[in-house]
Amino acid sequence: MSERLTTDVAIIGGGTAGCAAALALRKRGLSVVLLDKGFCGAGASGVNFGGVRRQGRSFAELPLAARARPLWDRLPELVGEDGEFKATGHVKLARSEADMATLETYAQGAAEHGLDLKLIGPNAVRDAYPWLGPKVVGASLCADDGQANPRLVGPAFARAARRAGADIRELTRVESASFGGETFETVAAGGLRVESRWLINVAGAWAGKVAEWFGDPAPVATLAPNMAVTEPLPFFISRSIGVCGGDVYVRQVDRGNVVFGGGAGWGDIDLDRARPLAPTTETAMAKLIDMIPALKGAMVIRSWSGLDGEMPDHIPVIGPGLHHPRLLHAFGFSGHGFQLGPAVGEVLCELIVDGETSTDIKAFAIARFQ
């Protein structure tokens, strides 16, 4: 039997962005129905590397990333648990003089956007991190960046939103959505129909399809980063580590497992599948051992991938649709939307409730792809 719901806001997608929006909207008193084809927080939000970093982002993203940063400290208050977030700092390594020059230029630009980075020379980097290999010639540190457990954060936002009164429907695939002049109608498999004044498209890697239903341009490519984790090892990698160029990144969790990523796996949004590729894992492992020789011989116990949407300019689309001001998009996070998620939820809520947001999101307008 088909079911009909009427709500202020319908949300397509239960990743961190969608669930954080649901929570924020409920706190401002709006009714919310959130639909996810799988389980909340099981998409990119649940399988990512867990990097909660501002360093290395496009300057256009820094205001949003700055807004997100204190929310990570406040997770216990916001969603009832800390998601294993720790401000371990994020170190970006240089493996050549050219890399070091790139880090210096970035640090100067970042400072103008309020992000303080500390450049570390060749001797100091070895003093601070004696386990780094000889190929590392310097680094840039963002001491206040960190890392978290992605498996915990999205579901925690979903549970908090549900406790706050959001109607969250999992295993509910949206098959179409349209605007009838006054309201949106969102139709899910099984016959559920949701009528809403506002519609939020936070469908992750699939959001381009939703945007197309409304005639919005969305050149979203599929991104499937390749991830792996080792057996537990004695703890020594105290920071989250990346490299200039981004081709490998690593962190160690308290239990000792070393999580690392680098390169692309395989993914297909129509098949709803992502897979790691063994040659990619091997290449990332070789780069990792170059960087941290002590990891030679560590046993990889699991590898995986996930699906995110990538925009041609590697920054997201956030804001109203071109044809329907009450349709809001937030997608195309291009492999770095986990850190932003809690702030994206707040921004979407402000756009609906206040008609504007205090965070600069001009660069994210969908009109740039017109």
The residue ranges that bind ligand FAD (CB under 6 A) are 12-18, 35-38, 42-45, 47-51, 173-174, 202-206, 225, 227, 305-308, 331, 333, 335-339, 341
Nearer to ligand FAD, 269 or 322 (CB): 269
Nearer to ligand FAD, 15 or 63 (CB): 15
Which residues 6+ apart lie within 8 Å of 337 measured at CB? 16, 17, 44, 308, 316, 344
Nearer to ligand FAD, 129 or 331 (CB): 331
Which residues 6+ apart lie within 8 Å of 147 measured at CB? 50, 51, 52, 85, 86, 88, 240, 251
Q: Give me the least distance between CB of 181 and ligand FAD, in Å please.
A: 23
**Greatest alpha-carbon span in the chain:** 70
Q: Give me the least distance between CB of 302 and ligand FAD, in Å please.
A: 13
Nearer to ligand FAD, 100 or 211 (CB): 211
First-residue to last-residue Cα distance in the chain: 41
Produce one character per residue of 144-176: b if its CB has 16 or more CB atoms within 10 Å, e if not.
Answer: bbbbbbbbbbbbbbbbbbbeeebbbbeebebee
Other beta carbons less than 10 A from residue 96's beta carbon: 14
Q: Give me the least distance between CB of 235 and ligand FAD, in Å please.
A: 20
Q: Give me the least distance between CB of 307 and ligand FAD, in Å please.
A: 6
Nearer to ligand FAD, 36 or 216 (CB): 36
Q: Residue ranges of the alpha helices (H) in 49-191?
A: 62-73, 75-79, 97-112, 122-128, 150-163
Sole residue written with tokens 């909207």:
25
- Three-state DSSP string of 97-115: HHHHHHHHHHHHHHHHCCC
Which residues 6+ apart lie within 8 Å of 270 measured at CB? none
Q: Give me the least distance between CB of 265 and ligand FAD, in Å please.
A: 8
Nearer to ligand FAD, 54 or 100 (CB): 54
Nearer to ligand FAD, 204 or 319 (CB): 204
Amino acid of residue 75: L
Question: What strands, in cross-sheet order, belong to the sheet with 257-264?
Answer: 118-120, 138-142, 90-94, 240-243, 249-252, 257-264, 225-232, 300-304
Q: Give me the least distance between CB of 199 and ligand FAD, in Å please.
A: 12
**CB-based closest residue to ligand FAD:** 15
Nearer to ligand FAD, 122 or 320 (CB): 320
Q: Give me the least distance between CB of 170 and ligand FAD, in Å please.
A: 9
Nearer to ligand FAD, 49 or 198 (CB): 49
Q: Give me the least distance between CB of 182 and ligand FAD, in Å please.
A: 23
Give me the half-sphere count of Cα atoms (radius 13 Å) on the Cβ side of residue 359.
24
- Tell me 299's DSSP state: P
| CA atoms 243, 64, 213, 165: torsion sign | positive
CA–CA gap between residue 314 and residue 334 (Å, rounded): 5
Q: Give me the least distance between CB of 300 and ligand FAD, in Å please.
A: 15
